[in-house]
Amino acid sequence: MQEEVENRTLTLVVNGTKFSGRMLKSAIGKYLAHRAEAKRQKARDGPVTPHGKQTVKQLIGQGQGVNNIEVNDPSLRDFERIARKYGVDYAIKRDRAADPPRFLIFFKARDEAAITAAFTEFSANKVRNASRPSVLQKLAELSARIKAPVKAKEKHKEPER
């Protein structure tokens, strides 16, 4: 039994050492052929149109009508999240000529209802967030209260009789 295990182990070691340059060359050749086939398949499928955030050139190059809107608020993360939610393709361009930063949002969607819903939700979020004070403002108020001098309590001692 032990001798049979040793023979199998020796056979495995001998077969492992036979891994030569020719085997390596054939393995690399098969890998390169696989990559070339994948590239040909991708070319047959045609170009993939991007969705979501993209450049203005890509957005205009898709051949559909593009609308734009001007936004003065630099926090556009909320809009990006909502636009992805509704499947709106958009591009953001910063207007460097204006002193306060101005942003132009170019957008398109397959239907007008998606664009309307996205901008309605975006504007509702802006109104809701404007009415609430920010966490930084609350923190500044609380730190001002802490730094204010605390009135010392006056102690009145009255002699007991």
- Per-residue pLDDT tens digits for 17-59: 666 677 778 888 999 999 999 999 888 887 777 788 888 888 8
Phi and psi at residue 31, to the nearest 5°: -65, -45
To the nearest 10°, report the CA torsion of 86, 87, 88, 91. Answer: 120
What is the residue-averaged pLDDT of the chain?
81
pLDDT exceeds 70 at position 74: no
Q: How many CB atoms lie within 10 A of CB 141?
A: 11
Decide which of 16 and 139 is more confident.
139
| pLDDT given for residue 10 in this prediction | 64
Class of domain 56-143: alpha beta
pLDDT exceeds 70 at position 12: no
| C-alpha distance from residue 49 to each of 2, 38, 41, 101, 114 (Å) | 64, 19, 17, 30, 19
| C-alpha distance from residue 127 to each of 38, 69, 123 (Å) | 50, 18, 6
Phi and psi at residue 29, to the nearest 5°: -60, -40
| Cα–Cα distance, 128 to 56 (Å, whole number) | 30
Q: Sorting pLDDT into bands at 50, 70 and 90, what band is 13?
A: low
Cβ proximity of 106 and 71 under 8 Å = no
Q: Sorting pLDDT into bands at 50, 70 and 90, what band is 14?
A: low
Decide which of 149 and 124 is more confident.
124
pLDDT exceeds 80 at position 98: no
Q: Which residue has the tokens 């170009």?
A: 47
Residue type, 120: T
Q: What residue ranges in the chain does DSSP mark as E strands?
A: 67-71, 89-95, 102-108
pLDDT exceeds 80 at position 110: no
Percent of the chain surpassing pLDDT 70? 88
Q: What average pLDDT does the segment 117-137 reach?
A: 84
* DSSP structural state of residue 94: E
pLDDT exceeds 70 at position 150: no
